[in-house]
Structure 1
Amino acid sequence: MNKETTPTQVQLISIDEDGAGQRIDNFLLAKLKGVPKSMIYRIVRKGEVRVNKKRIKPEYKLAAGDEVRVPPVRVAEKDYRTAPSANLNRVAQLEERILFEDKQIIVLNKPAGIAVHGGSGVDYGVIESLRTLRPTCKFLELVHRLDRDTSGVLLIAKKRMALRHLHDQLRNKQMQKVYQALVRGQWQEHDRVVKAPLLKITLKSGERIVRVNSEGKPSETRFRVLRRFDEASLVEASPVTGRTHQIRVHCQYQGHPIACDDKYSEQKFDDAMRAKGLQRLFLHAAQLTFTHPESETQMTVQAPLDADLTAVLDALEKKG
């Protein structure tokens, strides 16, 4: 059944400090949820969107004090009968997994199996759930991302200035991330740093994966062994760069794929780990260190391993 649409009225929106610095096209995409991107660009090109009564280009960056005229457009209405009713349990679960929150940020221990945002066949993700939990928050955006099957520390900005501040830290490599992963076999102590360029490729099936390739982007991950078992090692991984699937591919490249990685692991090892009770990718963002965007103090937030992962470790025989 097609969702009904309803025309909006002409809006005149004043941009404050929190909204400054973003491109007009991104601003409109956030304001006019449900409107196709192609329509956004069309109304900008036709001059229906004005800033300070003047025509602008899609790449125009808003400044504090700007007045934006948003024309009437047809916006897809949300069907509150189905969204987020099917996701209420997960939404409630997220409330319990908030590690830290103030006026600037939320730090969440993201569960495995939930995407960070909707799209690509996913209707409801972490960011949509948090917007449901915090309906009075005018601004909630992801600072970084975690793969759907990865659990652990996820940082969300509640102010645009906080988002810019934290993105600057990411760009300048001033934010330290520490993961824990259960990998096949015995990780060698001398393999402390893996430097291998990573390239995104699309298979004939349409699946997107990442491979070590000399034409890829420079990538570096630092490793440390935490525990050893007969069939596996628990390692700590600290990415220096932030490439897609970086830790997962660097582990595979070293001959130690992560347990139950549906893209990069191997069946025999995964079957052995499933026999120990593992039902998901064993990759967890355990710790994040960053500078608070308002107080400028350094923060380190830790997310404990979920009970299902600790149970697997308990089930594994320790390496003698």
Structure 2
Amino acid sequence: MTAIPILFEDGEAIVIDKPAGLPIERPRAGGRSLEDHLEELKLGFQRAPVPVHRIDTDTSGCLLLARNPKSLKRFNAAFEARTVEKVYLGVVAGPVDGQDGTIALSLSKISSADKGWRMIAAKKGKPSITHWRKLDERGGVTLVEFRPETGRTHQIRIHAAEAFGHALLGDPVYGTGKGAARTMLHALTLTVPREGKGPIVARAPLPADFAALGFVDVDAGT
């Protein structure tokens, strides 16, 4: 039994339900990170698993770890080829017009002494595409399903702020940081195709802070 829930496990991969607030890499200022749990996530194997991709510290949900160098290389290639399917749930801090759509923006990274680094929409940036669908609206906030086609840093967060005029609830970088104890983003499902064997399929349960907002019966990720 590990401290972090395991959603999928076989000889090549583990998918965990990463808790919100747990960074994948050790912060410069120190403190706990996923690195503290890799030993227990060996689960009888000699090697500790390695994260294949990144999700933000505040983001909860599906995170893929490779159990050996060969699988890590194959999984990295799948992400590069955009064959990995990812579905996220986000709570937008306001109403959302329309029922569904696609957000296409080129993104660039900037930094300043007072605000630190962040992503901005820029014509000369890297292309990024996110498909979205409105699921529910209550209490002045909106639950949205996001299916990112690309995997840029902060992609869903800045896409929400730019397309809807409202950032994700609790987002301190692209929004006000108010309304929630964290940026309300959850990696709901992850599907990774594999040649010669069945795909990796994982689904992370809805977090308690989403349910506390009244978003309980969610028809998403299907």
Q: Tell whether the structures are fold-level matches, with TM greater than 0.5.
A: yes
Q: Name the Cα RMSD after superposition.
A: 2.1
More strand, by proportion? 2
- What is the distance in 1 between the residues matched to 2:24 and 2:118? 19
- Determine what percentage of the aligned residue pairs are the same residue: 33
Q: Return closer, same or farther for 1:235/1:194 CA change in 2, 3 Å cut-off.
A: same
The match for 2:81 is: 172
- What is the distance in 2 between the residues matched to 1:136 and 1:102? 11
The match for 1:114 is: 22
- What is the distance in 2 between the residues matched to 1:181 and 1:162? 30
Return the match for 2:188 from 265, 280, 286: 286
* Counterpart residue type for residue 281 of structure 1: T
Segments ≥4 residues shifted beyond 3 Å: none
SS at match of 2:79: helix
Contact map agreement 1:127 1:141 (CA 8 A) in 2: no
TM-superposed deviation, 1:150: 0.4
Q: Return closer, same or farther for 1:246/1:218 CA change in 2, 3 Å cut-off.
A: same
Return the match for 1:195 from 93, 104, 107: 104
TM-superposed deviation, 1:198: 0.6
Segments of 5+ residues of structure 2 without an aligned counterpart are 217-222
SS at match of 1:170: helix
Paired residues, number? 214
TM-superposed deviation, 1:119: 4.0
SS at match of 1:196: strand
What TM-score do the two structures reach when normalised by structure 2? Answer: 0.88
Contact map agreement 2:102 2:129 (CA 8 A) in 1: yes
Segments of 5+ residues of structure 1 without an aligned counterpart are 1-90, 316-320
The match for 1:214 is: 123
- What is the distance in 2 between the residues matched to 1:120 and 1:241? 28
TM-superposed deviation, 1:240: 0.7
Larger radius of gyration: 1
TM-superposed deviation, 1:124: 3.6
Return the match for 1:184 from 81, 90, 93: 93
TM-superposed deviation, 1:120: 2.4
More helix, by proportion? 1
The match for 1:310 is: 211
Deviation larger for 152-161 or 224-233: 224-233
What TM-score do the two structures reach when normalised by structure 1? Answer: 0.62
The match for 1:104 is: 12
> Larger relative CO (CA 8 A, sep 6+): 1 or 2?
2
